[in-house]
Every structure is written in C-alpha cells, then in structure tokens.
Structure 1
Amino acid sequence: MTDADPVLDLRGVQKSFASADGPVPVLRGVDLSLEAGETLALTGESGSGKSTLLHIAGGLENADAGQVRVAGQDITTLSDAARAAVRCTDVAVVFQQFNLIPSLNVADNIGFQARLAGRLDPAVTDRLVQHLGLTDQLRKYPEALSGGQQQRVAIARALAARPRVLLADEPTGNLDEGTAADVLDQLLGLVAETGAGLLLVTHSPTIAARMDRRLHLSQGRVA
C-alpha cells in the first residue's frame, strides 16, 4: 500500500440473503473508497444493507461478489485465518451495543484488541484514556458504567490498536442526545489525531453532516 492508496476500497460488492422465495439481493454492486484521515457517513433506510456493507468492509461477513481492499490488501481472496489477522491489525469496529467483555475491567477491555494485534503501547493507551475522560474508571467493570462511558471504552479499545480503518455502526444510537454529541466530538477528534479512516453508519442527518463525505444506500446501490 502507498500513501496515495485508499485505506478502504470496495468495488462491485454484491450480497444476497436466502429466503423461502429465493435469494433477496441486498447489495447490488457497491463501490466505495475511504482515504486515511477521512470521515465518511453511510446513510439509508432501515433494512437497506448499511450494516451488511459495514460488516463486509471489515471482513466480518463475506461478499457474494466484488473486491474489498483493506490497507491495499484484497481480503476477499484470503483464508478465514488471514482475514481475521487483517481485522486484528488494520480494522477496528465500534458497535451500537458497545460489546465490552463483562469479565474484564475497563483497563483490560481497552487493551484487549491491541494485545491481540501485538500493538499495545501504554503511551497511546494513556492518551486515549485521558482524552476520553476514563482515568477514574479503569478498575471498574462495564456493568458499573453509564452508556456513554461504555461507548467511550469501546472507542478507546478500537483506537488503542492503531487501526488504519475504523468502522462505526450507529455508535451513538443508544445514547441520549447530549451524551451522543459529546461522544461524537471525542470520536472525531481522535480520528483526526490518529489519521485512521472512519466509515460511520448512521440514520441521523445531523451526525452525517459532520462527516467529510456522505453516501446514501438505496436499493442496494450508493449515491
């Protein structure tokens, strides 16, 4: 990968799901690219395939056809193990449901993916903790945190591994309006600082307007 290449590039991505009446097309040849340090909003109606596209971009789900390149590498040609390795080192995902590990405290949750990737850097982690206001929460467990605090931990965990691509699926959807705005401010600030490319799925025009670019998914295609 060169500096001029996108950190994420999808070409002709197709996906269908089985039904009693036969395959139901969800993605019909989607093209999408994301540069390092760029923020991109993906909008669309419920059921339009936004989350499916995000999962394919992150190697969490396979496309039926098309090409997905992450950090210059075509992950559609990789084995499951090799694709998992790319997810571990180059891609991080922030979900609406937080997905923290309940048996680990905040400090261990934050370091979890970075340890798997062999990229745990205490200096990086400390900066994230301070930026996200988590210094006093490190020994607590997820159940003791508010929704906003849990989402901050999820963001810190994602960025601690220093990914090239950050995928966020409605990351403020479970938060009240004030907390959501604060978490989004922090997320965008950290993305700008780290230089990761951010692809964010949202139904909110307000959130979408804060991204560098916006794409709308409708009838399996983007516009």
Structure 2
Amino acid sequence: MLLSVKSLKKSYSTAQGNVPVLKGIDMHVNAGDTLALTGESGSGKSTLLHLIGGLDLADEGQIILDGRDVTHLDDAGRAALRRHSIGIIFQQFNLIPSLDVAANIAFQARLSGVYNPAEAAKLAAALGLGDQLSKYPDQLSGGQQQRVAIARALAVKPKLILADEPTGNLDEDTASDVMAQMLSLVAQTGAALVMVTHSPRLAGQMSRQLNLRQGLLA
C-alpha cells in the first residue's frame, strides 16, 4: 500500500466558531491506482488533497505515505517529501513566468536532484510540447500551460501524483486531450494518481471513485 489515511479530521476557525470539514476520513491508495475524489463545492476535496501533500496540517488522524507518517513530519520534512515522492498539479498551473517551458519542466526535478534532460525532453514530446520549449508561459494556451505543469510534476518521478481540478480551466475538448495524455504517462511511470474533479466524465476515466459528502467518504 502506497498511501493510507486513517481517521483524518480537519476543522477551520471562523467568526461563528470551528467548522468541521473532514470528520474522519479513511482511504487507501496502492501503487498504480488512479482515484477520483468527487463531491460538491466546499465538501473538503481540496483540503484532503492538501493534507495528503503536506501543504496543510490535520487536527487528528494519520497519513502514511510510502512508509512515512506525514502527520508527524515538520515543515522541512514535508517539503522534502514533496520534492522526492509527490507531484502536485494545480488548477492554476503555477508556472514560473520568468522561466521558459524547458526550465519550468526541469525546475522541481533539479531541486530534487533527479533531473534527466533526455527524460524531460521525452516527457515534453509526449505532451506535445517538443516545439514549445523555448517559449514562456504567457506565450502558451491554457492547455499547453497545463501540459507543462503535468510534465514538471512527472519529471520528479513521484510515487504519488495529486491533481486538484487539473483541467478545470480548460474547455471540454482540451480537457479530454490533456486528461488522456496525463493518464497515459502516469500509467507508464507506475505512479498513483489522486485527482479532485467535479466532472463525472473525467472521474469515470479513473480506476476508482470516492465521493466526499458531509466530511466523510463514500
């Protein structure tokens, strides 16, 4: 088992008091799994993804990723885990405007000490970016920018990829194309993919689906 989440709880403080978002989440993910997290807006899908990725801290519960207890790591430990074991793909792309496509793809892999120019070029080609490597993010379409974000995440050779509405800013045809390319590449790497999505159509392309409702998974 690559990922195990047990009795995970998270609340946020508001002017009206504590609001529970996750009320005891239990889930597991094996290597090679593709899992869609669905649910209404505000149901806590992104919160769960951020907790798994060590971007936020849980109130209670346990997250074991590749044998390491994420919930007991300090900031430096969680950052190291993200550098080496987790690839994160956001809806907003989060590319570095001052770097060209090739440098954006290489950025995290260089930080992790695993950058391989030949493999990065192969990723770029597989995602249709082979002739875009010298361009900058503002010269690309939304679909191209998301492909760069996917290539950047995969270049680290992560064991787990977390994707938060990765096609949410794309039109339907582009979203389908990007999704197909991402799933193909993920399958080739053997990584697991956990994706938050509102789209039943995209969720249906994953091997498993879990629905988050009222703070619990079903």
The TM-score normalised by the length of structure 2 is: 0.99
Matched with 1:130 is: 125
Cα distance, 1:20 vs. partner?
1.4
The residue type paired with residue 117 of structure 2 is: P
Which runs of 4 or more aligned residues in structure 1 lie more than 2 Å from their structure 2 counterparts after TM superposition? none
After TM superposition, the structure 1 = structure 2 runs for residues 125-164 of structure 1, keeping only pairs within 5 Å, are 125-164=120-159
1:165 aligns with 2:160: yes
Matched with 2:187 is: 192
Matched with 2:170 is: 175
Corresponding residue to 1:121 among 111, 116, 131: 116
Matched with 1:109 is: 104
State the aligned residue count: 218
Contact 2:37 2:210 in 1 (8 A): yes
The residue type paired with residue 149 of structure 1 is: Q
Unaligned runs of 5+ in 2: none
Matched with 1:25 is: 20
Corresponding residue to 2:207 among 205, 208, 212: 212
In 2, Cα distance between equivalents of 1:181 and 1:21: 41
In 2, Cα distance between equivalents of 1:8 and 1:166: 11
The residue type paired with residue 23 of structure 2 is: R
Unaligned runs of 5+ in 1: 1-5
Cα distance, 1:151 vs. partner?
0.3
Corresponding residue to 1:57 among 52, 55, 76: 52
Cα distance, 1:105 vs. partner?
0.5
Contact 2:52 2:70 in 1 (8 A): no
Corresponding residue to 2:31 among 32, 36, 39: 36
In 2, Cα distance between equivalents of 1:11 and 1:109: 35
Cα distance, 1:22 vs. partner?
1.1
In 1, Cα distance between equivalents of 2:169 and 2:152: 18
The residue type paired with residue 42 of structure 2 is: G
Give the alignment's Cα RMSD to 1 decimal.
0.7
In 1, Cα distance between equivalents of 2:74 and 2:169: 34
Identity across the alignment (%): 61
Cα distance, 1:158 vs. partner?
0.2
Cα distance, 1:186 vs. partner?
0.2
Matched with 1:73 is: 68
In 2, Cα distance between equivalents of 1:32 and 1:115: 32
Corresponding residue to 1:45 among 27, 35, 40: 40
The TM-score normalised by the length of structure 1 is: 0.96
In 1, Cα distance between equivalents of 2:204 and 2:67: 28
